[in-house]
Amino acid sequence: MFRGVQHINMDTKGRLAVPARQRESLLDQCAGKVVITIDTQSHCLTLYPLPEWERIEAEIQSLPALNPAVKRFQRLMLGYAADIELDGNGRALLPQSLRDYAHLEKKIVLVGQGNKLELWSEDRWLAERDAALSVEAVEELPAELLSLKL
């Protein structure tokens, strides 16, 4: 399980050092082999351990490709997916196309999402966080969330 929010830096070559907590989990789960792709609902990236991505990829490929909306989703999720392996120092090199999509520069934020991690530009993450905490967002919570017993 990936949890927490961590602010990290990316170097000028597009490499980021995965923090020790997540790196250990990735090394245990998938020997550091991950897949990074775009999030189709936000301008961020999602990082999946390879076994988790393979499960998701099979689900995506099983969808009816003749449905135009499904085809667009498949093109984005599968088309942008990049196989990445953490190097000996726990660093990952992000392809330029993915960095461009998420507007990633030096300061980025790694957000745990249970089975995956999200990568955000720091500015976009702070805006997303603030929007999610707004009174309007809290008032618009769906019934599924309102039924949770936290």
108 pLDDT more than 90: yes
Q: Using an 8 Å Cβ cutoff, are 114 and 2 in contact? A: yes
Domain containing 110 — which CATH number? Answer: 3.40.1550.20
Residue range of the domain that includes 99: 5-146
Provide the number of structural domains found in the chain.
Answer: 1
Q: How far is CA 44 from CA 21, 64, 118, in A?
A: 21, 26, 7
Q: What is the pLDDT of residue 118?
A: 98
Angle formed by the axes of helices 68-79 and 50-61, to 10°?
160
Q: What pTM did the predictor assign?
A: 0.90
Instruction: For 13-28, write each residue's pLDDT tens digit.
Output: 999 999 999 999 999 9
Q: What is the pLDDT of residue 140?
A: 82
